[in-house]
Chain A
């Protein structure tokens, strides 16, 4: 036990002290923080107090529309503003009603020298819609203004919350867009980490073999201890990196959120409310709206569950495959080409899993998604894509439980087989082993 601890310590420390590790651990969250920071910065810059002149000579608007803090709308200003002098008169944009001034179309046109933030555009559209509605109600149906407001207040309070009735007793919020994003991200992250850390184990084993240190060490410790020490040590490196990322990203995003003005958050919320589904003509801004929507609904995901499951599936998915990578590493020699060809049967299921995952994310309930999230070869990736859709809504407890048990069992089996291949392979020099030979090493009686 003491020896395996020494091996773990060496594997861990040599990698954690490595310059590349330190850089990637600190720079990756910093990069994301910078990206978020830039987006926030641009948004803040764009939401200076906008003053928009509305040219509405045909009288679509009957009364001055109400302005929010960040956007001030001035109906038919005096002196008259036009596209030439609006800036001089202190307006950041000029809005033409249909068939007025230079606007001969039946669309509303906004002239401005700068591009408006999505939120600002959405807010202006909302104002126009409201103005038109008001006019119609007042003119055609003679509804009192205060009555209009109370009707609108009532309608605004309705928010459709999608609930799914699952096998379990609880129902779960089914915000599929967020679940899609989170599931995709988590599945893909596991896919990448399996490759990165699996290859790290393989290279480590190959290094020990080509450096000819394997036999020196194996005269002091059992081959199994050497293999497991390496796998656990590198797994700990992976966990360290993830934990550092989680901590740093949380820290950075807290700092950034602290710098976002309260006003802006309000505006984002308002823009979010004012998007009434499919009727909008956002001209390619749907994605942006979706993003805004997602930020406010991210809280619908059970983060503790997702993070917990992610760590579990990362750890055991890694352990499941790392042993196989170690076996391959022990069976090849200096030639990286040999490693490539022997690696193929291991990388195949991983690649297949990502293909299934992409399908599963759109149909998380399908038979393919369900079964491949239970089979250990695919479960780390596919299950992670399904979990954000809801436990036990989309993924019943028995599926999650079975998947986890099978993965742990699978890890024990691959490790047992790999240890036998490793034990023989690590001491052989010369040509690389064939699959037939490796099969014999694993299953012969000894």
Chain B
């Protein structure tokens, strides 16, 4: 591949100082201009990729059912939508929580994500335990760790009763630090 360039290279070697400084200038000019080109292309790409990090998500309250549909002392799975899902999100826009009715007017909404590595915990109603299918984490009915590797209790989501509806506030998937 070097063959066609030999001629140029040999003439290039015997250059006057003026030629050398001109060549140096041209090299720097090319790098600088190339750099500008690269920046023009890179800035929007990086911005596009990083923008979601700086977006502040607005959480919303989602109704998950009438207050009467939850019996005191029971824990049930409830489904709701993420806030402002993308139009093509399909079923991935759904989220679930375990909703426990503690008393007539108190509810607890537990994240379904195990604090060990995020797998979906299952409620065993007769055993009064949450069990994780991945690595054997177990939680009591109040979300505290009963057994296994989870480092923290099940996270809770804000929950309220409004106009006879139980509402859960949307939240990011809890990521254990």
Please indicate whether A and B come from the same complex rather than being unrelated chains: no
B positions within 8 Å CB-CB of A:
none
Chain A residues with CB under 8 Å of chain B are none
